[in-house]
Amino acid sequence: MDSSQIAKQMIDFQKSTFDNMYNSMVMLQDHTEKLASTLVEQATWIPEESSRVITQWTETFKTGRNDFKVAMDDIFSNMEQMLTAEK
């Protein structure tokens, strides 16, 4: 096995590990969002403005995590391209 194959396997492993971690994080955040939404809906004492802030906050988290995923996918893609370009 040459060094580029070993490096490719390492990158594939890291990408797989990242994807699994990311998917776990998404599931946890989605579950937390559902819990927060239920709490806000049932808690009539929470002002409407606070409800909007919580909704905006969850949307900001979603946007941030999606941007992070796109950036990481680009990094892994660039790393794979670098390995294939060396041949």
Q: What is the mean pLDDT of the chain?
A: 91
Q: What is the pLDDT of residue 87?
A: 54
Q: What is the mean pLDDT of residues 49-60?
A: 90
**Angle at 46 (CA atoms; ends 39, 64), nearest 5 degrees:** 65
| pTM of the entire predicted model | 0.81
User: Where does residue 42 rank: exposed (0-12), middle (13-18), buried (19+ CB within 10 A)?
Assistant: exposed
